[in-house]
Chains A and B, each alone.
Chain A
């Protein structure tokens, strides 16, 4: 037990539990659904998780600072639609420019959110509730009730979803999923090791202390919202590549899915706890259940949302109860260690953040 305690933090144990849960659910559906253990299942789930996973990472950055971004669904729809329209008028824009355009557009919308939250001191839930409506309104207005159609898009974009980056045995790692993976890994490193990432946690755990400690809290929150918007813009590009046909309602509901993924993945809604990787696992867990229930013949597919809601609740409830126990056990242990340290070296305990 002590070895376990030294090696793992409670948060890591919760991620291990999540991974175990995902595998358990996959095993269960494997016994229920014919041909479940096939590369196609993996491809299906990995492509469909990409959009929400990317958005959930951005959502995590914002939630860590004790804020929330409900406008991401509208940002995803907006970028997917506008980039799609621009592309269908001009097929020759180089792919890199297209991605940059989507990210920049998302970042600009995120910047407005961040400006209002960090410098206007308007609560994030109010700002993003308002911009959720606002961005969607602008989209509907400029669209003039037209849709983006697959056959007007350049070929490289339409052919993007089946592109493989590499194989893992039988499993294909598709480019769209790979983009999500890169985003998750990158931001996991930033959140765990970069000073900016650690400050997200500090602000979320105790905003007053962070301010007293001299962190530029406003700027950090502002940047978190820009990144959330930029990632939603990137997700908008992935959305466009995956579906091709984009209407003005594209991306509706992604805001709740991303919050759900983050929360199931152990990101505390009150800030300061959780990780991008956890949110990624949360997104996968939700998507596995979602995709499997459609193919499970025992119950109608209409049970999907009812079970999903219950799952989120149970995940958070067990999390709260178990994590509180674990954290108590760990801190008791830490106290013992630090107690013996102080008596031995008279140096005082140094707690790692």
Chain B
């Protein structure tokens, strides 16, 4: 087994142990923690971020980044609210919101694939621009009073205990795992992430793959924005602001390298579970939301720092041993 993969396996093992510890701690301290309802609740509270984290995994493994997702979420929800308040039928307004996501994705990928600008810059300006457009539509108003079925879809269980957003998440997760880990296209994403040039010489259509990923990213973000609107029952210009950082944290904590080419959806799934349970546990321990964010920030840094320190300690240790062996031999 090549060393890179064994490291990954170790990383996911570490996440799993961490998850088990957190869940065990929560379960011992809170009665009714391990019930289905509690877990559905847990997921439901950040389901939109988790959905976007799936496609963000693809993007980061591909050695790119999409900072505009949260703004696209806001834009699609605001456009839907704007059209609905203007008298459009709800279904049409929802379709328009989704379409806005597709257009935003095409816009992003035009600059990234066709012009060749760095995705960090393109999506940074996207972050500002799409949020700005959301404000242009709604200014400082808030729009609610959506049809009852829409709010119900966001808030009530649809199938068994699961609301629509969770069902969508399960379906997307299944698709994502199959595509990323069991299809040729998925291998291309890793190859491009490892080396764009090698991929190009090997005949991989690098630009087309990137284009597809960024369109998918914005489309899924738009979908997540609509789900968020349904859950909240109202839309505002500033909704979902700052979500991009949470989403990227989920992906990076899952062991996906920010430089691309390595990581897996399994790791991301584990890190999502860790973050959800950690937040839940900290909430039960009466820690404020801000402290929770801070702890997750520290966890993010440690997740990369710890393996680095470990590797360098081991390197210096084995160097020292080699040296002492040399002197013994002499």
Contacts and interface: CB of A to CB of B under 8 A. Distances in A.
Interface of A: 116, 120-123, 125-127, 129-134, 136-138, 140-141, 256, 259-260, 263, 269-270, 300, 302-313, 316-317, 320-321
B133 A120 contact: no
A7 B131 CA distance: 43
Q: Which of A130, A137, A256, A321 has the most CB of B within 10 A?
A: A130
A131 B205 CA distance: 37
Chain A residues touching B, majority SS: helix
A65 to B, nearest CB: 16
Given A306-B136, A309-B130, A116 B115 contact: no
Contacts of A307: 132
Chain B residues touching A, majority SS: helix
B212 interface: no
Interface residues of B, number: 43
B128 A260 contact: yes
A338 to B, nearest CB: 28
A353 to B, nearest CB: 24
Given A123-B258, A307-B132, A140 B290 contact: yes
A122 B304 contact: yes
A105 to B, nearest CB: 18
Contacts of B301: 116, 122, 126-127, 130-131
B116 A320 contact: yes
A269 B132 CA distance: 23
Contacts of B136: 300, 302-303, 306
Contact of A137 (B245, B252, B294, B304): B294
Contacts of A125: 258
Contacts of B125: 260, 309-313, 316
20 contacts: A116-B305, A123-B304, A126-B301, A126-B304, A130-B298, A137-B290, A137-B291, A137-B297, A138-B294, A141-B288, A259-B124, A269-B118, A269-B121, A304-B132, A309-B125, A309-B126, A309-B129, A313-B126, A316-B121, A320-B116
Contacts of A120: 305, 308-309
Shortest Cβ-Cβ A-B pairs, 8 listed: A309-B129, A137-B294, A305-B132, A306-B132, A133-B297, A309-B128, A130-B297, A130-B301
B120 interface: yes
Nearest to B259: A123
A131 B245 CA distance: 12
A305 B297 contact: no
Contacts of A321: 115
